[in-house]
Amino acid sequence: MVRGKTVLVVEDDSAVQMLYREVIEGIVGARALIVGRGDEAVAAAGRESPDLIILDMRLPGADGLEICRQLRADPATAAVPVLAVTVRCTDDDVRQAVGAGCVGCLGKPFDLDALTETVGRLLGLDQPTH
């Protein structure tokens, strides 16, 4: 459990939002803060000081790579790990995400165990609780 940790999720699909909430709060034990748009992500990250940001790369009206660059440019969020999530997770997509400042990339649809392990690891949890 990682009580006291917050994960900001930037995802526009409500069904996927519920899945993130289940993993982050129900399995990992952290607080999930969910927004549906990139501009909301930048504001929420500055206001809430999350420990991890999970960022969908394809958002309405926003490019996830640009959102990540904005997060990196702000001293308040520059050090927060950002995990890119996208339906395309090719080697080129991973390179672009890492080049923009992401710590890695998960493909959609994602495996729940991989998501749980990745979130736990990025929050500093040795073994996520299942």
Strand pairing report for 52-56 and 6-10: parallel
The verdict on residue 34 lying in a domain is: yes
Cα 116 to chain centroid distance, Å, stands at 12
Total tally of structural domains belonging to the chain: 1
Residue 82, classed as helix, strand or coil, is strand
Helix then strand then coil, in percent of the chain rounded to 5, is: 45, 20, 35
User: Could you tell me the CATH number of the domain that includes residue 10?
Assistant: 3.40.50.2300
The verdict on residue 130 lying in a domain is: no
The verdict on residue 58 lying in a domain is: yes
The verdict on residue 129 lying in a domain is: no
Tell me the DSSP string of 30-61. PEEEEESSHHHHHHHHHHH--SEEEEESEETT
pTM over cut 0.75: yes
The verdict on residue 127 lying in a domain is: no
The verdict on residue 128 lying in a domain is: no
The verdict on residue 40 lying in a domain is: yes
The verdict on residue 100 lying in a domain is: yes
Question: Which range of residues forms the domain containing residue 74?
Answer: 6-122
Cβ-contact 52, 80 below 8 angstroms:
yes
- Quote the CA–CA distance of 116 and 46 in Å, as a whole number: 25
pLDDT by residue for the chain (130 residues), tens only, comes to 566 899 999 999 999 999 999 999 999 999 999 999 988 999 999 999 999 999 999 888 778 999 999 999 999 999 999 999 988 778 888 898 999 999 989 988 888 899 999 999 999 875 444 4
